[in-house]
Amino acid sequence: MNTSPTLTKSPPTNFTPLDNRSRELRQRIVRMMEAAGRAHLGSAFSVVEILRALYDEVLRYDPKNPRWPDRDRCILSKGHGCLALYVLLAEKGFFPEAELSKFCKRDGILGGHPEYGKVPGIEASTGSLGHGLSIGIGFALNAKYEKADYRVFVVVSDGECNEGSLWEAAMCASKHKLSNLIVLVDYNKQQSYSTTYEVLNLEPFADKWRAFGFAVQEIDGHSLEQLRIVLGRTPFHPEKPSIVICHTIKGKGVSFVENNLHWHHKNKITNEEIRALLAELEVK
């Protein structure tokens, strides 16, 4: 496991290559993008393995009973990465797969940001950054109060960590010793305008979280093996909330999308671009 405390200005170069399942999930994301003509593609591609690990192996849930009281709660606080979540939720049976082709359509339930009450499996409406962690704290406090053993996972983006409300929440989570709260940061080092270093530097990122009272682990966020190991060790400390800083690549999986901010939020997509995307994501 990569446990280096901080990262330099160059992202790691030895990221894990994608397996066929990760390629297929990305293909489905591209198909949704094709249907809607728009998407936060880079943001969705960078979070695929994080969500895949959670929904394939970690979370306790029942798609036929999305409000099952004992389920683990998972909030995609970086709501703009929702395409990666939608394809997984559909696959698991939270809603019919036919909804995927109605992404951003008037008669569909899946919008550019996930909505509570509209999409089964969505615990909170997100899209405006800096909300999810506080809501997750409410869930986690409720679990403590009810002596319930469900866990709360909150997936945040790095740009989201610009928000003051997120750090208010970080203080609050450690104050209450919320060991049932696990944050995963999709640290792809790119936000809308430029790199996180240039726009509003987060470093020393892991140290910040430690200073705010979290138990911190850092991993390659595209490595299912590392995700599996690290999530299997939660909570990292019996009296602290946990955070996994997942080093990722924005747009991971397609050469011309990776670290290319023109693909942060993309519209006016051509058929040629769709073909090129799918070609790079072919199953091997």
Partner 1 sequence: MRKTCLDMVYELAKKDSRIFFIGSDLGIGTLQHFKAEMPNRFFMEGVSEANIIGMAAGLALESKIVYVNTIAVFITRRCFEQVVIDLCLHNLKVRLIGNGGGLVYAPLGPTHEAIEDIAIFRTLPRMTIIAPADAAEIRRLMPLTVDYPGPIYIRLAKGGDPIVTNNRVRFEIGKAFPMREGQDALILTTGITLKIALDAAANLGEQGIETSVLHVPTIKPLDTVTILDYVAHIPVIVTIEEHTVIGGLGSAVAEIIAETGFNLPKRFKRISIPDVFPDEYGSQASLMAHYGLTANKVSSVIKQLL
Contacting residues toward partner 1, per CB under 8 A: 115-117, 123-125, 128, 130-142, 144-146, 164-165, 168-169, 171-172, 175
**Smallest gap, in angstroms, from Cβ of residue 169 to partner 1?**
5
Contact of 59 with 89, CB cutoff 8 Å: no
Strands (E), the chain: 38-39, 73-76, 152-157, 181-187, 215-220, 242-247, 266-267
Q: Rank residues 146 and 149 by Cβ distance to partner 1 and give the closer one.
A: 146
Residue 159 token pair: 């740009």
**Smallest gap, in angstroms, from Cβ of residue 206 to partner 1?**
22
Query: How many residues does this entry show for the chain?
Result: 284
Q: Rank residues 126 and 188 by Cβ distance to partner 1 and give the closer one.
A: 126
Q: Rank residues 33 and 133 by Cβ distance to partner 1 and give the closer one.
A: 133
**Smallest gap, in angstroms, from Cβ of residue 111 to partner 1?**
12
**Smallest gap, in angstroms, from Cβ of residue 30 to partner 1?**
29
Q: Rank residues 125 and 188 by Cβ distance to partner 1 and give the closer one.
A: 125
CA angle in degrees (0–180, nearest 5) for 234-236-237: 125
**DSSP states of 194-233 as a string?**
SBHHHHH---SHHHHHHHTT-EEEEEETT-HHHHHHHHHT
**Smallest gap, in angstroms, from Cβ of residue 181 to partner 1?**
10
CA–CA distance, 89 with 161 (Å, rounded to integer): 26
Q: Rank residues 158 and 163 by Cβ distance to partner 1 and give the closer one.
A: 163
**Smallest gap, in angstroms, from Cβ of residue 128 to partner 1?**
6
Single out the residue of 14, 88, 78 nearest to residue 53, CA to CA. 88
Q: Rank residues 48 and 169 by Cβ distance to partner 1 and give the closer one.
A: 169
